Structure 1
């Protein structure tokens, strides 16, 4: 009986599962998948939003995070833009809260 337990203990001395090279390969693959499915698209969306915010001009129709649709009256280089919500009703809005630019004004054509 002692010889059976000694033989069983001798075969169990193998490498513990999950701590070899396979573990590090799987972790690396998971990082690559997370990068392409989560991190990269989020960075691209942030870049597009930043570009959209920096290109806001007077006359553009914008939508804020609160759902207010307004027309840009004054766009400055700072963090805020002046928008007209209704006739004669103007408000200052932080650029970061603008979620969408619905219609863009066309640049004025030069007269020759």
Structure 2
């Protein structure tokens, strides 16, 4: 009786083939590439293009949220004019985007004024 119990308690032989396991790992790597790595590479490429295209007179926003107009462009730094006669020197790589958020704020303020006038 003890011999029959040992036979039943043994695990069945076999399992998934190594080829299936490698295919599963390859699938996980492919999903990780398309979900994480590729979008990050695209974003880095567009940021590099943005930095390469900076020129005097462009309005930009820094990563810290400073708005300004480019006064001078050097190899690694940019001089921003944030107000009349007020200039800041920042690292070129800290430029986040071209354009001005202030324009958006002014446009929304104008639309609010319009709404108030219409209510009267």
Interval of TM-score (by shorter of Structure 1 and Structure 2): 0.7 to 0.9
1:60 is aligned, of 58, 61, 65, to: 58
Aligned equivalent of 2:78: 81
Structure-2 change in CA distance of 1:18 and 1:95 (3 Å): farther
What is the alpha-carbon distance in structure 2 between the residues aligned to residue 30 and residue 13 of structure 1?
28
Count of aligned positions: 100
Structure with more relative contact order (C-alpha pairs < 8 Å, separation 6 or more): 1
Structure 1 stretches (4+) deviating beyond 6 angstroms? none
**Shift in Å, 1:58:** 0.3
**Shift in Å, 1:18:** 5.9
TM-score between both structures, scaled by the size of structure 2:
0.75
What is the alpha-carbon distance in structure 2 between the residues aligned to residue 37 and residue 54 of structure 1?
27
Higher normalized helix content (fraction of residues): 2
The gaps in structure 2 that reach 5 residues or longer are 101-120
1:23 is aligned, of 21, 24, 29, to: 21
Give the alignment's Cα RMSD to 1 decimal.
1.8
